[in-house]
Amino acid sequence: MRNFGAFLGTALVFLTLGLCPVCSDLTDGNAEYLKREHSLMKPYQGVGNSLSSQWDFWGSTLVTGSYVRLTPDERSKQGSIWNTVPCHLKDWEMHLQFKVHGSGKKNLHGDGIAFWYTKDKLHAGPVFSNYARFHGLAVFIDTYSNDDATDRSFPYISAMVNNGSVSYDHGKDGRLSELGGCSAEIRNREHDTYLAIRYSKERLTVMVDVDDKNEWKECIDIGGVRLPTGYFFGASAATGDLSDNHDIISMKLYQLMVEHTPEEENLDWTKIEPSVSLLKSPKDNIDDPTGNFRSTPLTGWKVFLLLLCALLGIVVCAVVGAVVFQKRQERNKRFY
């Protein structure tokens, strides 16, 4: 039996080792790498339409001491906020703290918030109040299902990379151009809701933290994404016949310390065309019934954890089996 104990102990050590890279997966608000010139934080000093301002705002956007309201809970409002400093970091992670709330009942509210990393800023249009043929990255927090035929649950978070050739289709909730997505209950929550968007080494990862558990849950994770440096961060929101308050509490940008090869360093990163090399075309996207975490491959540690769980299961069965066998033998001895 001692051997089983030792085996179990070893397995637990491996389990802990296996989990550690997961714990430290995302930047843990390390202030050292916080980039103030790309961050928007209370009390929002330097927000406004002055020459020295690092953030411009447009439309219905209202800046108070505790939030930046892109739209109020009123019909036909459009608002946005844009970082005026182009981002020259190759590897970054944006933490967006937001709040979507309003008096509308279930499914009678809209339209949501979009996060942007694009060539142009303050370019108004029909996509959550921004330009539809944008260059760069968009992450949509879509609270209203425009497509009647949809089987997915809203609010729905999705990502899109565009080189200006494709128009986001609002009537289809952008389904034809999306790279991946997940459903998330983000509306009228009592606690804080967060979205993390990480771009590093051609990999785009979107995580959500909306259940007040202080942990990131994976929403989108895709490779082969190419984005240039020198684009602008922004956020925008719009209301139509239905409405909501769309508030940004903070946008915190962290620099990720990542090594690049000399060849990569010598590239002119400002000349990169936004693109995605997918194994499948985004148009082939079909929903899985849960609408969750699709197109997410099993990464190394997940496979490892699965194997480990299987192993632990076998160990537990073996231990229980051995104990039962021993007990039975003792009982048998007493009988004979």
Ligand X SMILES: *[C@@H]1O[C@H](CO)[C@@H](O)[C@H](O)[C@H]1NC(C)=O
Structure tokens at 164: 């200006």
Work out the burial of residue 166: count CB atoms within 10 Å of its CB; fewer than 13 is exposed, 13-18 middle, 19 or more buried.
middle
Nearer to ligand X, 118 or 245 (CB): 118
Q: Taking CB under 5 A as the criterion, which residues in 157-176 touch Ca ion?
A: 173
Report how far residue 33's alpha carbon sits from residue 95's, in angstroms, rounded to the nearest whole number: 13
Nearer to ligand X, 80 or 162 (CB): 162
Report how far residue 312's alpha carbon sits from residue 308's, in angstroms, rounded to the nearest whole number: 6
The DSSP 8-state label assigned to residue 294 in this structure reads: T
Q: Which one, of 89, 96, 121, 107, lies nearest residue 154 by Cα? A: 107
Contacting residue, 128, 144, 168, 233, with Ca ion by CB under 5 A: 144
Residue 165 contacts ligand X per CB under 6 A:
yes
- Amino acid of residue 239: T
Q: Which one, of 184, 227, 199, 204, lies nearest residue 98 by Cα? A: 184
Contacts of 262 (CB under 8 A, 6+ apart): none
Residues near Ca ion (CB under 5 A), total: 4
Q: How far is the CB of 148 from ligand X (least distance, A)?
A: 27
Q: How far is the CB of 279 from ligand X (least distance, A)?
A: 15
Kindly write out the interface string for residues 270-309 of this chain, putting x where it contacts ligand X by CB under 6 A and - elsewhere. ---x------------------------------------
Structure tokens at 283: 């148009």
Name the segment binding Ca ion (CB under 5 A); options: 137-145, 184-192, 204-212, 229-237. 137-145
Contacting residue, 84, 146, 163, 295, with ligand X by CB under 6 A: 163
CB closest to ligand X, residue no:
163
Nearer to Ca ion, 155 or 234 (CB): 155
Contacting residue, 146, 153, 250, 275, with Ca ion by CB under 5 A: 146
Judged by beta carbon distances under 5 to 8 A according to partner kind, the member of Ca ion, ligand X, none in contact with residue 247 is none
**Tokens 């310390």, residue?**
257
Q: Which residues bind ligand X (CB under 6 A)?
A: 163, 165-166, 273
